[in-house]
Amino acid sequence: MPKLVQWMFPQRVWAFHASEKEVYLTFDDGPIPEITPWVLDELKKNNAKATFFCIGDNIQKYPEIFKRILSEGHSVGNHTFNHLNGWKTSTSAYLENVIKAENSMRKNSELRIQNSELFFRPPYGKITSKQAKILLKKGFKIIMWNVLSYDYDANVSEEKCLQNVLKNMKSGSIIVFHDSKKAEKNLRYVLPKVLEFAKNNDCKLLSI
């Protein structure tokens, strides 16, 4: 993510300051049965934690997977109910969709109700300043990223996807993957290798 963009929107979280080797894996667009359980299995095998930015409609369809994410010690964030593009959606409709997703999260876990921090990531990274300002006032932390894997892009090879992560990852990085059908081919290749790289380099993989 260009430094200029990060500078223009300082209230959004792009990365963390880390004194040790610490990296934050995030997964957008789930949960779905085709890929999210596999992601959880891989994380568990490597004693890694992550943050899942969930679509409300998917939580409603697959509540048990959502509950598993939380029960295994990962954190969750709101990714709207219908994966809306904020630039193409009115502020009122966008906020209504975010709250609908939040209600779905709360309905499916007492842990979510106890969680005082509300994380939000705008689908496509696209949100208007007005939408963001209102969400910040409502107590949401807007979590962006500084490393994008492009796992969802069919034109990006498995190896290129891997290098997108390894060449740009540094302490405090927030890395974006997707537990989605579109990203499955690249993700199944890349995630185990990133987890192995982190283990071999004494890098902690943490949830936000």
CA dihedral over 7, 13, 16, 17, signed as positive or negative: positive
The 10s digit of each residue's pLDDT in 51-100 is 999 999 999 999 999 999 999 999 999 999 999 999 999 999 999 999 99
State pTM to two decimals: 0.93
Catalytic residue positions, numbered:
28, 178
Q: Which helix H or strand E contains 54, and what residues bound it? A: strand 51-54
The pLDDT confidence band at residue 4, using thresholds 50, 70 and 90, is low
Rounded to an integer, what distance in angstroms lies between the CA atom of residue 60 and that of residue 44?
24
Q: Check if the beta carbon of residue 25 is closer than 8 Å to that of residue 48.
A: yes
Give 152-196 pLDDT, tens digit per residue. Answer: 999 999 999 999 999 999 999 999 999 999 999 999 999 999 999
Residue 13's beta-bridge partner residues?
Answer: 143
Mean pLDDT of the chain, nearest integer: 93
The domains of the chain are located at 3-206
Q: Locate 114 and state its tokens.
A: 């106890």
Domain 3-206 is found in CATH 1.10.3720.10: no
Q: What does the chain come to in residues? A: 208
